[in-house]
Every structure is written in structure tokens, then in C-alpha cells.
Structure 1
Amino acid sequence: MIQYNNKVVKKRPGNWLPTDRSKLKHWVDKQINIVVSKGILTEEELKFQFQHQEVEALKELIENDTEIYILTNQMIAQALEYDKFDPTGSPEITDYRMMLVLIDHILTTAPEYVSPDEEGYGLIGFPINAILDWCMGTPAGYAFFLNDQVNSCFKAILNRWCEFLDSDASLYVLNTGKHGWMCDSAEKQLQIEEFIYNPDDEHWGFKSWNNFFTREFKDGMRPIAEPDNPKVILNACESAPYHISTNVQKDQQFWLKGQPYSLEFMMAKDEYVDEFIGGTIYQAFLSATKYHRWHSPVSGKIIKAYVVPGTYYSEIHSYPYDDAGPNNSQGYITQVATRAIIFIESDYPTIGLMCFMAVGMAEVSSCKFTVNVGDFVKKGDQLGYFQFGGSTHCLIFRKDVIEQFVVDAIPAPDFNNSTVIKINSKLAVAY
């Protein structure tokens, strides 16, 4: 937790949600007003069938599974009780039907741009996360969001939303208006001139929201550091350092407040787990407005590449005050969230087998590969990307591989102040 204008608020790395929770409340209130204007939030209208069958399926699960029904109501009640001690305002969601109505509404929207200078507002990069915000940190919410059936429903919901974000209907937020991603403020923040786009096209040449958010750099914008030096390991994502852990172990209690890494759970009990015992993990997080593709940190052969299904809104349990926050549970989510795992056999023997892990966080759970098993990649070659933005990622090395990290790779005491390291730049040096 941090102090902001004398308020206790959650830290929000990467600017996916506002630090000032009053801005989050303002946004959710706005969504409630929209659905109220449609007559959906009256007692009678709440009985209607949802626009999206995936949301209807979650409603049916809640109402037909006694345990899940109890957890759903408990987490909302606990959030309301918790908010008696929260100076930023009461939670906006007062029952599960309201929660589902808002989620149903979000599935036909795309995130709008909000200037960092706009009073009372904040960029909402995780809109469903914003709706569920305080419920996630409650004891009942901890159990609810770890439930396999619940996560199966959220997977279907997010897949449906991704369909919308892949369609041209999502382009309505690419405009030059105040909250459009083509306005002057957004252009400056995005540094759009560094990317491939058509300034003369109505939507800069992008075909959908996802196409815009996974935009690629122009050639030469991110040169490869020391391409002929096999000891140099590159930064795999445009990201800021979160944590470096040495002497990592196979089995740790990763759900505790310190969020230690547990290789066995991170790698979903892969056959290569033992190779990395005693090794090093580097973790960094991506910003909402930055580049969201992954590039290879080393030259070598792709040995394995697969996606591990996981949770979507599970955060470390710390109640009543959530010191971690949904975006601050980044160590924890490497072991429970949906994640893409790529094993690369470096052609530099000292590095040997290493692992790249792209971790989905909240809505950002769609990990796409651009490489196949058996491919040979050079340092800086693209490996894949997050659909709709980015999240967090890890580089995992065996024991006695890393001699040193560059200064910028060392996380700041408050990791929100860590320096964003450009992709393909020098991250570390192997022995």
C-alpha cells in the first residue's frame, strides 16, 4: 500500500489501473450509469438473459453450485465490510448480478485512452479487473478465483471479449477525440512514430484494437546489443525490472506474502524443472502503453513451447488490507496464472538450456507464439506476443550461468520506480 493525497491505495505497476482508487471508482460508476440508462439494473431487468452466453454460463454456475454461490456472496460482503476502513470510497459492486451485468457490458467495448493529466480519471487497461477489484483481495475471493469451474467460465468470457477486440468494431476508440488513442496526448505517450503505422489512414492502418495493441516497431528502432557476443543476454520485453531471485528452489510456498518462486509450479512440473534448481530468475513487468511482443534473449534452438492454462483474477491473499494488489502479486501469479513457456537451448554452452515465460495477468491472458519447436532463433528474433497488451515475464537460467546484470536491470526498492529497459538491449552477461 502507498499514500496518495492522504489516501491508502494499491500500487499499480505498468499503469494498467489508476493508482488513485477514486479514479477507479469514477470509471466503474460511469459504467453503472451506462447500464442503468439502458434499464438493465432494475430488479426486474436483472432477471433477463445476458447478451453473451458466456456470462449467462457464469451466472448459472454461481446459482447452481452451492459452494460457489456462497463464495460469490461472501466475497462481495467482505469487500463491503473491508471498505468501511478504506478512505477512497465504498465499492461499487453490491451484488453478483450487478457484477455480471457490468462484465456483459464490457464485452462489446474497447479500452479508451485517458491522459495522465486528466483530473478525476485514469487509464483502465483491465476493465473486468476494475469491476472485481476489491473482491479479489478478500478471503472468499481468494477461494473463488482459484476455482477451476470459475476460471473455465472466465476463460470463455475473455475469449469472447478477445473476439470483439479482434474485430473492426473495436476500432471506435482509435480516433482523435479526447479519449481516442490517436489524440495528441496519446501519440506522445505511445511514441507512435517508433512503430509501423499509416498516419494518413483513418485508424492508422490498424484492423482492430488487438492489431493496434500488438503493433510492431519500425526496423532499426530497437537494435540488438552486441549481436556477436554470445555472453550477452538481451532484454526479452520492453519492461521494467520487478525482481531478481538467485538459488531458486523446486518447491516453495509461493502463496505466502514474500511470494518465493517455486520452479515446479512455475513450469507446471515440466521434465526440465530439475535443470534450474539453484539457478536465477529475472522478472519484469510491461506497461499498458508500451510494446507487447517478446523477443529471444539468446541465440539457440526452440526445444519446447506451450501454454499452461491457469487462473485469471487470483491474487495473493492479504486481508483485510491487500499489500500486494492484483498487479503486485506478480511473483505469485507466475505459478498460478495462464502462461506461455518456451525452452531455448542456447548455442553458448555456459548458458545452455534457459526458459522464457510470458505470464498473463487478469484480462491479459492470451499468449500467442510466433515460433515453433525446432526453430533456430537468433538473439532479438521475435518469439510471440500478448493479445491485448502485456503483463509480466520471467527469464529463468540454470545455476552458475549469470555473472552479472546491468545496473538498470536491478529493481528499484519500490519497483514502480524501476527503469523501463528497451527490448533487445543488454540485460545480463553470462560467465
Structure 2
Amino acid sequence: MIKVYNRSTKMYETENVAGKKYLEWCYGSILGKKATEIFIKRKLFTKLYGKFCDSKASCKKIQPFIDEFDIDMTEVIKKPSEFENFNDFFARKLKKHARPFSLNKDDLISPGDGRLTVLTNIDTESLVQIKDLTYSLSELLGDTKTAALYEGGTCLILRLCPLDYHRYHFIDNGICSEGHKINGSYYSVNPIALKNTPKLFCQNKREWSTFKSENFGDIITVEVGATCVGSIIQTYHAGESVKRGDEKGYFKFGGSTTIFFFKKDTVVIDEDILEQSAKGCETHVKFGETIGKAVNR
């Protein structure tokens, strides 16, 4: 059972995990673990499923998915019948005012929908994946020099479930660098997998870039693929100015994760999120929701 904190109700909710029995088998049983290593984590498995999700035949999955996870379609631009395939639905765009956000330059907004965990005063050589499992920022980026700049900083881990809005956005005005693509496996990023797969983020396919923001300094942004996420689609243009709230990109089908690294003394995260993170509990947030403040120096 995965508990997630709801900031609005100040209550814990049990996550409705898509494919829970499948995940428990893949990462919790001897046979499942073997199958995951031999085939499921491989690019071919994700590629084949991705082709199906790009096909017209996958449209039949859309309405049952909406019903099972109670997705609010009043926020979505298209009607269920208007999607060309399941991936079109999965990367659905929302109506303009579905995710309002603060224009106050000191407010840190969430870059997307998902379940948020925050690490502060980080040791870049021992980042917590989940209790008793760690990894290093230099391994994640493949860049020791850049990683060293974020010692003592803040790390935001935003886990997106299959039912979430799967587009991610810039949190401030600024300029983003070209992305660095790192090939890897396609493990699930669900907590069921995280607690059973050492250095999972460092093993999966991922892309990272540096966002030079006006109010929060240089931020490392990392998009991590997962099982059935064959495509991380970047829609921004490197080197061009962007504004707070502009889209950076989106994921195709599957659960996925975005990770953000802030330098020391640049942000202060809201106390309720920090409290839940210290308990090992994720906090449910939506794109545009204020989650912290800039440190004025």
C-alpha cells in the first residue's frame, strides 16, 4: 500500500496503482525479477508496447482508463472520442486555466503533476532513492564537475503515475541548455520497484539539462524514463528565453519521474512537504501549485 499526503485535506490517501499486481510480481517475486532483467527492462519491450499505444487500436483503452482512475476530463481540451490513440490521450493537453500558478517571482511552483519528495542539504555522493538505497549525482548525470556544484543543495523528486497529466513545465523565466541524453534500462519508477532496484534512476534512460532561471539560480532538470516510457519528448528550444509556466516537454505512456537540483541557499521548501518527506511519504502536488520560496540574498 502506497500512502500519499493530500495538502488540501491534510489527510493520507492510498494510491490507486496502475498494474499493482504486475509490479509486485515483477519486483517482488523470483520469477518476476528474472523476467524483468531478461526482457521487461529492455528497450524492445517498451518499444513494442509503445507501438501499440501509438496505434488506432489502443483507443479502446481510453474510456476504461478514465473510468478506473476517475480522471477529470473537464480539464482536458479534447473529448475522449477525439484522441487518435492512447498516447495522444496520455500526453493530453489541459485547458488554459486548469492549472493556475503564481506570477510572484519568489514563489517556487511545481513543474508538473505528481507525488513530490524533497531532500535538503544533500550529499551529492549519497542521494536517497528510498530508505537504505542511495546513488550519487555524478552517476545520475555522468558529469562529476557539474554534480559538485550542488553539494548542500536541495533535490526535488516528482514521480508521475500513469493517471497523471504527463507534461512538465518551466518554473521560472530563464534559458535552458541543450539536453544530455543517457541511454539505459526501463525499470518502473513506482516505489515497489524503487525499494527493490539499487540505483534505479542511474540505470534508467534519462535526459538532463541546466536551466538558468532568473530567480532560483542554475537548476539541473532530469527527466527519467520508465517501463513503457519509450519517449521523453522535449518541446522547448535550447538557448531561447522561456517564461514561467511554459511547457518543457512530455512523456509518452507509463509512469515516469522528473528530478530537480537547486544549489545551496537558493530555495526554501514549504514545511508540510518537508515534514512528509522526512517521514518517507510523498506529497501530491499539481503543476503550478506553490511549493516553496526563493531565498533572497
TM-score (norm 2): 0.81
Residue of structure 2 in register with 1:376 after alignment? 241
- Structure 2 distance, partners of 1:247, 1:426, is 21
2:90 pairs with 1:206: no
5 Å matches for 1:321-332? 325-328=192-195, 332=199
AA partner of residue 105 (structure 2)? P
Q: Of the two structures, which has the highest relative contact order with CA contacts closer than 8 Å and spacing of 6 or more?
A: 2
- Structure 2 distance, partners of 1:423, 1:398, is 22
**What is the DSSP-based 3-state SS (H/G/I as helix, E as strand, rest coil) of the residue aligned with 1:190?**
coil
AA partner of residue 180 (structure 2)? Y
AA partner of residue 258 (structure 2)? H
AA partner of residue 106 (structure 2)? K
Unpaired segments of 5 or more residues in structure 1?
3-11, 19-23, 25-126, 317-323
Task: Give the total of aligned pairs.
Answer: 283
Measured against aligned partners, the alpha-carbon deviations of 1:97-143 in whole angstroms (never above 9, x if no partner) come to: xxxxxxxxxxxxxxxxxxxxxxxxxxxxxx6x5663434798x859x
**CA offset at residue 301 of structure 1?**
0.3
**What is the DSSP-based 3-state SS (H/G/I as helix, E as strand, rest coil) of the residue aligned with 2:192?**
coil
- Structure 1 distance, partners of 2:174, 2:30, is 40
AA partner of residue 232 (structure 1)? D
**What is the DSSP-based 3-state SS (H/G/I as helix, E as strand, rest coil) of the residue aligned with 2:51?**
helix
Does structure 2 conserve the Cα–Cα contact (< 8 Å) formed by 1:260 and 1:331?
yes
Residue of structure 2 in register with 1:156 after alignment? 44
- Structure 1 distance, partners of 2:78, 2:233, is 21
**CA offset at residue 13 of structure 1?**
5.6
Measured against aligned partners, the alpha-carbon deviations of 1:15-74 in whole angstroms (never above 9, x if no partner) come to: 2333xxxxx2xxxxxxxxxxxxxxxxxxxxxxxxxxxxxxxxxxxxxxxxxxxxxxxxxx
Residue of structure 1 in register with 2:158 after alignment? 284
**Which structure carries more strand by proportion?**
2
Of 249, 253, 267, which residue of structure 2 is paired with 1:388? 253
**CA offset at residue 284 of structure 1?**
2.5
AA partner of residue 28 (structure 2)? W
Specify whether residues 327 and 206 from structure 1 end up closer, same or farther in structure 2 by C-alpha distance, changes over 3 A only: farther
- Structure 1 distance, partners of 2:238, 2:170, is 14
Specify whether residues 156 and 299 from structure 1 end up closer, same or farther in structure 2 by C-alpha distance, changes over 3 A only: same
- Structure 1 distance, partners of 2:132, 2:27, is 21
**What is the DSSP-based 3-state SS (H/G/I as helix, E as strand, rest coil) of the residue aligned with 1:423?**
coil
**What is the DSSP-based 3-state SS (H/G/I as helix, E as strand, rest coil) of the residue aligned with 2:293?**
strand
AA partner of residue 265 (structure 2)? D
AA partner of residue 425 (structure 1)? E
- Structure 1 distance, partners of 2:41, 2:201, is 21
AA partner of residue 306 (structure 1)? H
**CA offset at residue 236 of structure 1?**
0.8
Bigger-Rg structure (1/2): 1
**CA offset at residue 424 of structure 1?**
1.2
**What is the DSSP-based 3-state SS (H/G/I as helix, E as strand, rest coil) of the residue aligned with 1:272?**
helix
2:186 pairs with 1:312: yes
Residue of structure 2 in register with 1:422 after alignment? 286
Of 264, 285, 300, which residue of structure 1 is paired with 2:174? 300
Specify whether residues 136 and 426 from structure 1 end up closer, same or farther in structure 2 by C-alpha distance, changes over 3 A only: farther
Residue of structure 2 in register with 1:220 after alignment? 97
**What is the DSSP-based 3-state SS (H/G/I as helix, E as strand, rest coil) of the residue aligned with 1:393?**
strand
Residue of structure 1 in register with 2:58 after alignment? 170
2:13 pairs with 1:132: no
**CA offset at residue 406 of structure 1?**
5.4
- Structure 1 distance, partners of 2:144, 2:204, is 16
**CA offset at residue 420 of structure 1?**
1.8
Does structure 2 conserve the Cα–Cα contact (< 8 Å) formed by 1:13 and 1:327?
no
- Structure 1 distance, partners of 2:241, 2:24, is 41
- Structure 2 distance, partners of 1:424, 1:136, is 41
**CA offset at residue 260 of structure 1?**
3.1
Specify whether residues 364 and 197 from structure 1 end up closer, same or farther in structure 2 by C-alpha distance, changes over 3 A only: same
Specify whether residues 330 and 132 from structure 1 end up closer, same or farther in structure 2 by C-alpha distance, changes over 3 A only: closer
Could you say what the CA RMSD is over the residues aligned between the two structures, in angstroms?
3.3
TM-score (norm 1): 0.58
Identity of aligned residues (%): 23
AA partner of residue 161 (structure 2)? S
Measured against aligned partners, the alpha-carbon deviations of 1:176-233 in whole angstroms (never above 9, x if no partner) come to: xxxx246xx45x81001111113xxxx52100110011101101111121x1x32222
**CA offset at residue 422 of structure 1?**
1.5
Residue of structure 1 in register with 2:71 after alignment? 190
**CA offset at residue 249 of structure 1?**
2.8
Specify whether residues 168 and 271 from structure 1 end up closer, same or farther in structure 2 by C-alpha distance, changes over 3 A only: farther
2:211 pairs with 1:344: yes
